[in-house]
Amino acid sequence: MAFEGLADRLQGTIQRIKGKGKVTEQDVKEMTREVRLALLEADVNFKVVKDFVKRIRERAIGQEVMESLTPGQQVIKVVRDELTELMGGEQSKIAVADRPPTVIMMVGLQGAGKTTTTGKLANLLRKKYNRNPMLVAADVYRPAAINQLETLGKQLNMPVFSLGTEANPVDIANQAIEKAKEDHQDYVIIDTAGRLHVDNDLMDELQQIKANVQPDEIFLVVDAMTGQDAVNVAESFNEQLEVSGVVLTKLDGDTRGGAALSIKAVTDKPIKFAGMGEKLDELEAFHPERMASRILG
Ligand code: GDP
């Protein structure tokens, strides 16, 4: 399970401080030292760890006294609040265009789970919000990617717009949106091309699509299993495209948690959804508070 090592370590630390009727500055120092090590071991970005630990230390030492909680519990509350804040605070919602269709552009490296997530997101929008999405195959470099999306469309019984591999992705996106308007589809989810690494051609193409269709959301799909690489990828996509949110996939794997805990702090973009498996119903809204509770027990 994801975060197992981190959860084990933090829960041990917390148990030690929980019952304390009096928490000294020394106790707080020891606790934050353990928290720091646990986060670093979970592959959380170094600077993120440093700022995080500084904040909990300041708050835990100068904490407001709440009569309903023991001092130990108050320190834990500080850690829980800060961990929630680190992962984005409030759960963030998905955009809705004033005039349909709402256009969502999916971007990310090859293998991150972009095409699968396109299908999962469409499924979620229909099931949870009663929406009527259309999928768009704009990865013209890999016929397999188009086939994959068409297969997902069949499974979901949803329309997939494709012009094969000869058309230009910008034209595909524009025509798809026109078609969605005619057919009263209220969401258009564009599956764009990915590469193995971030490169200029890819960014140029994505920027052109963005400039033309002016999407309501740009979701960057990153693989949680790749740890700090996921954070670096998120940083460079965000610099060039100004994404609106992140989807973290493969959180069902045994990721140490570094990506989940660093992305918001490094990019200032919220994690909106988490992929929890390969199946089409295994995408969840990302709840920072619930995730913090899962980690802290
Ligand atoms: P793309 O190249 O970015 O479009 O990636 P794909 O959508 O083809 O996904 C790559 C692989 O990751 C596939 O085998 C997916 O089934 C798998 N995958 C995607 N999301 C998840 C997830 O949340 N959990 C797990 N375990 N596998 C996933």
pLDDT tens digit string along 171-226? Answer: 999 999 999 999 999 999 999 999 988 899 999 999 999 999 999 999 999 999 99
The overall pTM is greater than 0.90: yes
How far apart (Å, rounded) are the C-alpha atoms in residues 150 and 159?
A: 8
pLDDT at 65 over 70: no
Q: Which has the higher per-residue pLDDT, 157 or 59?
A: 157
pLDDT at 21 over 90: no
Residue stretches of the annotated binding site for GTP:
108-115, 191-195, 249-252
Show the DSSP H helices in 130-199 as ranges.
143-156, 169-183
Does 101 sit behind a cis peptide bond, omega within 30 degrees of 0 on the bond before it?
yes
Amino acid 52: pLDDT: 95
119 lines ligand 1 (CB under 6 A): no
Percent of the chain whose predicted confidence (pLDDT) is above 90:
74
Residue 79 C-alpha to ligand 1 middle, in angstroms?
Answer: 33
Residue 68 — pLDDT band, cuts 50, 70, 90?
Answer: low
Bridging pattern class, strands 160-161 and 133-138: parallel
Tokens of 252: 């069902």
250 lines ligand 1 (CB under 6 A): yes
Model confidence over 116-145: pLDDT tens digits?
Answer: 999 999 999 999 999 999 999 999 998 999
Residue stretches of the annotated binding site:
108-115, 191-195, 249-252
| Alpha-carbon distances, residue 242 vs 47, 107, 197, 278 (angstroms) | 22, 11, 18, 27
115 lines ligand 1 (CB under 6 A): yes
Nearest protein Cα to ligand 1, atom 13:
113
Average pLDDT for the chain: 92
pLDDT at 73 over 80: yes
277 lines ligand 1 (CB under 6 A): yes
Atom of ligand 1 nearest to the CA of 277: 24
84 lines ligand 1 (CB under 6 A): no
| Alpha-carbon distances, residue 253 vs 56, 134, 223 (angstroms) | 29, 29, 10
Average pLDDT over residues 268-273: 95
